Chain A
Amino acid sequence: MNHILYGFIPLAFIFLIAGLISLSKKKNRPVSAPRTNTAASITETIILFSAGCIALICISCFNNGILLKLRELRPAFAMTHIIITAIAAAFLLSAALLSWFGRTAMAVILMTIIFFSYNAAIDKAPFEGPGYIMARIAPKDSWVPVVNYTFEINNGLQGVEVWINGVFLGTTPFKMTGDEFNKKVLFLTEPPEGFAKAPEGVPQENWKQPEGNWFKVQIVGIEKEENISRQGISYLSKFKDYYAKIKYAGEWGINCIGTSGGGGDFYQYDYEVSLNGHFSVTDKIEQENRERFNKLLQKARLADYKVDKEWLATLDTYGERGWRDVQKIAENEKELSEILDRWVKWKYGISDDMTQKQAGKDLDDICHQVDIKRDYSKDSFEGRAIELVYDKLDVEYIVKKYEKILKSRNQRSLASAMVLYQVIELWDKKLNDEEADKTNIIEKKITPELIKLEDFRKAAVLGGPEIEKYLLRQYQREKRIEGVELGYRNYEYTMGMFINKWLYHLAFMKSPVAQEFQEKNRQEIMKLAELIINNNFNRERNPPEFLFYDLNLGEKSMAYEYWASYSEHVESSFPSFWWEILKKRWDYLNRLGSLATEEMYVHCWKITKRDAPLMGGYLQQALIVLPPDKRKPVTNVIVKELLGIANKKRQEIGLDINAVHYFQEDEPVDMAREFLVKSGDEESFQWLFFKYGRNQKNYLKGRLEQNVMDKSTPEHSLIQILAKNEDSELRKLSLEAIRKLSTAANRKILEKLLNDSDEQVRSAAKQVAAELEEIKNTPVSELVSEPKGN
């Protein structure tokens, strides 16, 4: 019940009292007068019955619409509800009949009793246990929520036999109810025979079980729990330990793990049990797929990224995984991004000369796809398709379509609504870029709709005079920055804080009007930023984006002014290790852009209290944060300082500072140098080579192998450094990188190495060249992805 009804209750009572008072009114009718006549009987019966029907439906809806979900209940429980409802309906009819015979007052009273009783009788939420009446009339345990299990192996591998706790359950894909599961599978308090524990120190889930071993899997189920609620019992989701085995093509899975999850509404829970393991058959297929995939990419590199439709169709067979993998590689290999675009364009037929109708069809296809998947993200295949197709669409058509979605309750929650919002956002940006001063159609039509739906975040992103005026006026009405006293209309509950919603959105907005507001209310915005940074829920101490909006003001900008406070605050309140604190500081400086000087970065290094051992790995993690132009100078300063410390230590224990030997204090120095080497810094490489190249060549090679070989896309400059190194071992090492990354630039290095002075290098180079030639000549039809199982 909400406040509206509370308003009506006293009114209804007044109304009722008025009726009762009328009872005492002077009788002027003959005592022999009939109670009713035909017209009154019919009318009052119809009104009573109609109002009764509405009330009955209301009661059902108040109780989670149980009558609409009978199929989800156990048959006995559903039947109990049907019987109760039928009885209520019968009483409803009886009440209506009473009215027919002129006993309307009695009929209304009877109906009220029926509704109260019905409301008390029908079940509200089975997970809370049955109600008092239900517990006494429904067959025992019929109220227990229904559970359905779906068993899945390796994301859809079919034909896998599944055993749980020693019982064979079925072959994938299969489903079973919770009752069937519980009946078949006995819960074991002790692991079954053949369950081997992981060696000490290795987490059980990380341990590669030998073939045929049981592995532990937590399966979620509904458990009865005694408590003080309702009838003393309730039903909760609980995970219990079971022991599983999986078998595919006559071979037990190894290295298995299992999870379960899912959910449901009040009456039915659908859980998915996902078991993942390795079978030599599928692993082989997976390995082969991976090799084919790599070859396919190599083929593109060898063709200088000029791929045809056939190649794209082959890549398409790798599906979503292929998309994600290429996307990851493309972070360091920009040419692949173009290929991704071509893939998307090929798939949806996107071209520069496509018609609006075709673009509309693409949009509909994408919307349909994401609605099936119930998932959409901007960086997905569909997301990129939208980025490529949006400007081919008629903006007015899109605006109308999105407006319709916003006005419809049902469609707003669909994944396709997110797709359309992205189109709208892209169009808004495009229109703003074209005519910044003009209020565009999106700002005119969509922003107001979003405001009406109180989706201020989206409205603020799209911008426009409507949202600006709205937020500014709201802020005029309520200027307090924080506190629950702001009231639910005015506060934004974020990170456990109640902050002024209007200020919050205005702070994030980017428009001349918002900028003017931000300038005028600089102190309030800085206070807001401070609240966000210092908030305990903001564990990462991330500064809000709006703090960096006015960097054009230089040293007078908010972020620059706040830097000292931030730096100090991070040290005192960020509960982490020194390298994390250092990273936070450098992150902040990165966001300051050109305002952050080299000295500021170095200063951060100097003021960060290193209260944990200075390990090179951690230092490298911090150094990655440095912007490319600051990496070398800042790292050099750090190296110099660390080297000074190491040498001092050497001197303290009487060691020669020029001697090359293992010395623990050198480790962070080497790692810092290595960090620069990874970026292709020749000076650092020479330094390392000078240090280890002669006496500890294998150590150096090992380090480089680890850095170069394990990296799918090593820096070209590093390959170049290795290729021209005087040591043939290192030159050979560069060939390994070329084998993986056969770009045009690397192929040139390969050509040089084919004529290398060293026979072994020449031979290795020839082998790499032959391999690349073979890949070049492999038809793409041989590189399609094969399904993992039948």
Chain B
Amino acid sequence: MSENVIRAENLSRDYGRFRALDNLNLNIPRGRVVALLGPNGAGKTTFIKLLMGLLEPTEGKSFVLDNLSRALPGSVVSKIGYMGDMDEPPGWSTIRQLMEIQAGAAAKFEKEYFVQAMKKHELNLNKTYSSLSKGQKKWVRAALVLAGKPDVLLLDEPVEGMDPSARKDMYDQLRDYVTDTDAAAIVATHVIGDIERVADDVAIINHGHLVTYADLEELREQVREVQLGADEDLPELGDEIEVLGSKTADGAKIVWIKCPEKAREILENLLGEKIIMWTVSLETFYLAITEHNSNNTQAHLKEIEK
């Protein structure tokens, strides 16, 4: 694995008495697209803002390109492509003006790339930002980020409001860019289906805690959904197998478990044929994780485990 361009060490942030992000540790190397998932208010945006240096961490530190986020030098800050959820160019500004602004900030900004991107989406450079549709606005902002040729991309809900094909297009471009430039990208989103296609890693935050950070491929390999009868419990599984969550529906109990390749055989042997077990999608996994967390069922899971 190459160097970590994003690092978070015990990163926490409070708003008043509310802890939005709690003791988050995360390292992201180059060449990775990380899907940052989590329900509303989980702390995704706060995390991205902290990385960008827009907020002061209550505890811990974060680094981008080996520089403390809150003291990013000019040479580094211009290498970060940021597309926030809450920021928006002034409505009166034209696309050309936005291009000029970004060109003034990012040393490697390629105007030609931006102009071509705008042409591709049939956007006139003289159009004002406020006259664009929601999807067009996203395209403009994405193009501004990508034309800057950043080493790190911090994207918060970049495809919100876009139609499915546009979303696909956007993520494809992102994937290509990261692959081509060996950049690192964090994409915070709710639209799991699209990101799943292009992401390398997934990080799930819930209630400010990093619940999962894993290679998406590995995750697909290791996570299973197990269906039990309503009154059945899982047998003793050992240390290698982790219960991610469970739910009871339609007279059946569903448990999500994560196990390494080796442990899967043990599991099959343990449970036998009477138990139905199959692989899960990222969305299902995400739901399992977040619901599990949202119900605060750590204790419950221990019971299940028992």
Contact = CB atoms under 8 A, between A and B. Distances in A.
A touches B (Cβ under 8 A)? yes
Interface of A: 27-33
A28 B56 CA distance: 11
Contacts of B15: 27-30
B17 interface: yes
Interface string B1-32: 00000000000011111000000000000000
B301 to A, nearest CB: 31
A28 B58 CA distance: 12
Nearest to A28: B15
Contacts of A27: 15-16
Contacts of A31: 14, 16-17
Given A29-B16, A30-B14, 6 more contacts: A27-B15, A28-B15, A29-B15, A30-B16, A32-B58, A33-B56
B58 to A, nearest CB: 4
Contacts of A30: 13-16, 58
Size bracket of the B interface: under 10
Contacts of B13: 30
Interface in B138-181: none
Contacts of B17: 31
A32 B17 CA distance: 8
Contacts of A33: 56, 58
A30 B16 CA distance: 4
Contacts of B58: 30, 32-33
Contacts of A32: 14, 58
A29 B55 CA distance: 10
Main secondary structure of the interface of B (DSSP, over half): strand
A31 B12 CA distance: 13
A33 B59 CA distance: 10
A31 B58 CA distance: 9
Q: Among A29, A30, A32, A33, find the residue whose CB has the most chain B CB atoms closer than 10 A.
A: A30
A33 B16 CA distance: 9
B50 to A, nearest CB: 12
A255 B15 CA distance: 96
18 contacts: A27-B15, A27-B16, A28-B15, A28-B16, A29-B15, A29-B16, A30-B13, A30-B14, A30-B15, A30-B16, A30-B58, A31-B14, A31-B16, A31-B17, A32-B14, A32-B58, A33-B56, A33-B58
Contacts of B56: 33
> Which 7 pairs between the two chains have the least Cβ-Cβ distance?
A30-B14, A27-B16, A30-B58, A28-B15, A31-B17, A31-B16, A32-B58
A28 B17 CA distance: 9
Contacts of A28: 15-16
A27 B14 CA distance: 10
Interface string B47-70: 000000000101000000000000
Nearest to B16: A27
A27 B20 CA distance: 13
Contacts of A29: 15-16
B23 to A, nearest CB: 14
A84 B197 CA distance: 78
B17 to A, nearest CB: 5
B86 to A, nearest CB: 13
Contacts of B16: 27-31
B61 to A, nearest CB: 15
A33 to B, nearest CB: 8
Interface in B227-254: none
B213 to A, nearest CB: 24
A560 B56 CA distance: 93
Nearest to B13: A30
A29 B16 CA distance: 5
Contacts of B14: 30-32
Interface in B88-129: none
A31 B16 CA distance: 5
B21 to A, nearest CB: 11
Nearest to B15: A28
A185 to B, nearest CB: 78
A28 B46 CA distance: 12
Nearest to B58: A30
A778 to B, nearest CB: 102
A734 B267 CA distance: 161
A213 to B, nearest CB: 94
A319 to B, nearest CB: 83
A458 B13 CA distance: 75
A28 B55 CA distance: 11
A30 B19 CA distance: 8
A33 B55 CA distance: 12
A124 to B, nearest CB: 49
A729 B296 CA distance: 145
A184 B56 CA distance: 79
A27 B15 CA distance: 7
A764 B17 CA distance: 125
Nearest to B55: A28
A142 B13 CA distance: 63
A256 B44 CA distance: 104
Nearest to B12: A30
A29 B14 CA distance: 7
A29 B13 CA distance: 9
Interface in B185-228: none
A33 B58 CA distance: 7
B278 to A, nearest CB: 44
A30 B14 CA distance: 5
Nearest to B56: A33
B95 to A, nearest CB: 32
A508 B14 CA distance: 81
A30 B17 CA distance: 6
Nearest to A31: B17
Nearest to B57: A30
A32 B16 CA distance: 8
A463 B11 CA distance: 83
A30 B59 CA distance: 10
A312 B16 CA distance: 96
Nearest to B59: A32
A32 B56 CA distance: 12
A726 to B, nearest CB: 119
A204 B253 CA distance: 129
A31 B13 CA distance: 11
A33 B57 CA distance: 10
Nearest to B14: A30
A171 to B, nearest CB: 83
A44 B58 CA distance: 24
Interface in B246-283: none
A504 B51 CA distance: 79
B84 to A, nearest CB: 16
A665 to B, nearest CB: 108
B210 to A, nearest CB: 19
Nearest to B20: A30
